[in-house]
Amino acid sequence: MLPVIALVGRPNVGKSTLFNRLTRTRDAIVADFAGLTRDRHYGTALLDKRQYIVIDTGGLEDSSEGPIFEKMASQTWQAIAEADLVIFLVDGRAGLTGQDQEIGRELRKINKPTLLVANKAEGMKDSAQLAEFYELGLGDVYAVSAAHGQGVRDMLQMAVDKL
Ligand code: GDP
Ligand code: MG
């Protein structure tokens, strides 16, 4: 069985874009509108000739009311349960949101290696902008641009080092 990596985060942070970048497919639906990726979606990423299964989740986007731990669709929790490692994606431009904090709280409860990744960080010179993500209590925040590819390979390396 190949190691499994789940991509988790609130809508619109770029999970499907990162999935496509990692798996080099266009299979996931990348939407400018939140809520389009409804189901779990599997692909494989390659690093140093090793293969990893990557899960794109859209389940967090399924409902709009109530605390996020209630609305996290079972699809997302199943993906997390299946995963050996979770990549928790946040939006480096938007900054820390209440939804990020709720997801972070849930992820801290589960005993799985988690890599906190701030996306949309292209051209971001001031890393102080990312300092607030340390509040999530999930350790270091790693900056990438899924759309442009910056940092993605190194991020995957950091992730698999946690396996
Ligand atoms: P998801 O809802 O988390 O799956 O997010 P998507 O992958 O559908 O992306 C949401 C929006 O963010 C889309 O408009 C993407 O083009 C945009 N996006 C994704 N990655 C980046 C990035 O690295 N930089 C910027 N500026 N935009 C991005
Ligand atoms: Mg998506």
> Which residues are documented as binding site?
9-16, 56-60, 119-122
CB of 147 within 6 A of ligand 1: the answer is yes
pLDDT tens for the chain, residues 1 to 163: 889 999 999 889 999 999 999 998 655 555 554 444 445 578 889 999 999 989 888 755 545 556 666 656 667 778 888 899 999 999 999 999 999 999 999 899 998 999 999 999 998 877 788 999 999 999 999 999 999 999 999 999 999 999 9
Task: Note the pLDDT of residue 37.
Answer: 45
Q: Nearest-5° angle of CA 100, CA 132, CA 116?
A: 55
CB of 13 within 6 A of ligand 1: the answer is yes
Asked whether the beta carbons of 89 and 15 are under 8 A apart, the reply is yes
4-161 has which CATH code? 3.40.50.300
H runs (alpha helix) in 13-97: 15-23, 68-71, 74-82
Domain chopping of the chain, boundaries: 4-161
